[in-house]
């Protein structure tokens, strides 16, 4: 059974999904962030793979993508990182990114890499559902990979129904119409929890209050920009520390990696605590 389905079978309330951009702040933070979030009690992780032209994203995620690309992140490296923690990490994982990167990688290649790297689902915001259905659905389904679709507030009811039928695992409902990272106000258009597929609300959820609000309307919520902002403070701290304590730069990699892991685990714990309570 797909781990996303397992999750929602076990838990229908206050499901917390965290998005981060792979390769940010540093290329090798992917593993630290995933294990940090998993230990801290996130339910689901969305791993953003960076694209040069992220049109659906606001400034914070744009900057993280830009940085990740500068750090050298690409799909080969990311899949290698994910394969490395496949045996030790059991939290359901979703890959999220723009269609061109998947298209160039090769759809078949991408799917088989997802399958062998412990990925459970995929979100590609600029892949139209009609194209997915016509050209790619069979490939994803045959590999047991869930493709999750987004519904916007202004999506008409007929289309929303179509998207709900097509989506696998859960439906991603946007809190408002806009790019990622905008402020939100609670709204009736968020709809009610349905008895059908689970619904997570995303875009604009960033603290305890907005998370609670979203959980009243849905099975849980997705936080992206809020978490990246939090990681950004880490980035700045680290840079200033580096300046003060030049010696630390030269420590051997393993030790540094353990330090970095602890540091990131703390960040994740603090963030999830803040959201949950």
Partner 1 sequence: MSKSKYSPDSDGYYGEFGGAFIPEMLVPNITELRENYLKIIESDEFIKEFHHLLRDYTGRPTPLYFAKRLSEKYQTNIHLKREDLNHTGAHKINNTIGQVLLAEKLGKKRIIAETGAGQHGVATATVCALKGLECVVYMGALDVQRQAPNVTKMKMLGATVVPVESGNKTLKDATNEAMRDWINHPDDTYYIIGSVVGPHPYPDLVARMQSVISYEISLQLNTHIGRSFPDYVLACVGGGSNAAGGFYHFLENPAVKLIGAEAAGKGIDTPETAATLALGKTGILHGSKSKLIQDKYGQVIEPYSISAGLDYPGVGPLHSYLQSTGRCTYIPVTDQEALDAAMELTQLEGIIPALESAHALALLSKQKWNRSHHMVIILSGRGDKDMDTYSKYFSHESH
Candidate list 22, 114, 174, 205; residue touching partner 1; CB under 8 A: 174
**Residue whose CB is less far from partner 1, 51 or 140:** 51
Task: Report whether 1 contacts 119 (CB < 8 A).
Answer: no
Candidate list 159, 192, 216, 262; residue touching partner 1; CB under 8 A: 159
User: Is 80 noted as a catalytic residue in this protein?
Assistant: no
Sign, CA dihedral 75-64-259-276, equals negative
Candidate list 2, 11, 27, 58; residue touching partner 1; CB under 8 A: 58
Contacts of 145 (CB under 8 A, 6+ apart): 111, 114, 115, 119, 120, 121, 122
Task: Report whether 180 contacts 224 (CB < 8 A).
Answer: yes
Provide the 3-class DSSP secondary structure of residue 242. helix
Stretch that binds partner 1, among 10-18, 33-41, 56-64, 244-252 (CB under 8 A): 56-64
**Contact call for residue 56 and partner 1 (CB under 8 A):** yes
**Residue whose CB is less far from partner 1, 131 or 239:** 131
Task: Report whether 20 contacts 223 (CB < 8 A).
Answer: no
User: Is 57 noted as a catalytic residue in this protein?
Assistant: yes
Task: Report whether 11 contacts 39 (CB < 8 A).
Answer: no
List beta partners, residue 185. none
- Among 29, 38, 43, 46, the one annotated catalytic: 46
**Contact call for residue 196 and partner 1 (CB under 8 A):** no
**Contact call for residue 257 and partner 1 (CB under 8 A):** no
Q: What is the contact mask toward partner 1 in residues 90 to 129, using x (rule: CB under 8 A)?
A: --------xxxxxxxx-------------------xxxx-
Stretch that binds partner 1, among 38-46, 178-186, 231-239, 253-261 (CB under 8 A): 178-186
> Cβ-count burial of 229 within 10 angstroms (0-12 exposed, 13-18 middle, 19+ buried)?
middle
Residues 201-240 that bind partner 1 (CB under 8 A): none
**Residue whose CB is less far from partner 1, 183 or 239:** 183
CA 243 – CA 109 distance, rounded (Å): 42
Candidate list 12, 131, 187, 233; residue touching partner 1; CB under 8 A: 131
CA distances from 85 to 29, 42, 190 (A): 12, 17, 36
- Minimum distance from CB of 111 to partner 1 (Å)? 16
- Minimum distance from CB of 99 to partner 1 (Å)? 5
Contacts of 138 (CB under 8 A, 6+ apart): none
What pairing do the DSSP bridges indicate for beta strands 220-223 and 146-147?
unpaired
Applying CB under 8 A, the residues found at the interface with partner 1 are 51-58, 62, 66, 69, 74-76, 98-105, 125-128, 130-131, 149-152, 154-156, 159, 163, 174, 177-179, 182
| Residues annotated as catalytic (active site), given as ranges | 46, 57
């Amino acid at each position: 059974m797909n781990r996303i389905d397992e999750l929602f079978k076990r838990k229908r309330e206050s499901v917390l999904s965290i998005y981060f951009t792979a390769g940010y702040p540093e290329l090798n933070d992917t593993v630290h962030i995933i294990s940090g979030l998993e230990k801290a009690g996130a339910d689901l992780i969305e791993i953003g793979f960076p694209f040069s032209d992220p049109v659906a994203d606001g400034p914070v995620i744009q900057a993280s993508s830009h940085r990740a690309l500068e750090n050298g992140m690409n799909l080969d490296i990311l899949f290698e990182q994910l394969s490395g923690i496949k045996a030790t990490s059991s939290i359901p994982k979703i890959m999220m990114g723009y269609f061109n990167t998947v298209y160039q990688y090769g759809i078949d290649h991408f799917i088989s890499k997802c399958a062998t790297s412990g990925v459970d689902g995929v979100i590609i915001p600029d892949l139209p559902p009609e194209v997915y259905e016509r050209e790619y659905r069979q490939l994803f389904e045959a590999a047991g990979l869930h493709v999750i679709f987004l519904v916007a507030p202004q999506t008409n009811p007929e289309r929303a129904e179509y998207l709900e039928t097509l989506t696998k695992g859960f439906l991603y409902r946007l809190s408002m119409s806009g790019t990622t990272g905008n402020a939100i106000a609670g709204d009736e258009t968020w709809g009610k929890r349905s008895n059908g597929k689970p619904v997570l609300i995303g875009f604009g959820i960033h603290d305890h209050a907005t998370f609670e609000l979203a959980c009243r309307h849905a099975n849980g919520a997705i936080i992206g920009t809020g978490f990246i902002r939090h990681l950004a403070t880490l980035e700045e701290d680290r840079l200033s520390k580096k300046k003060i304590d030049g010696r630390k730069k030269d420590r051997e990699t393993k030790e540094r990696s353990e330090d970095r892991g602890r540091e990131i685990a703390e960040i994740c714990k603090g963030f999830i605590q803040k959201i949950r309570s």
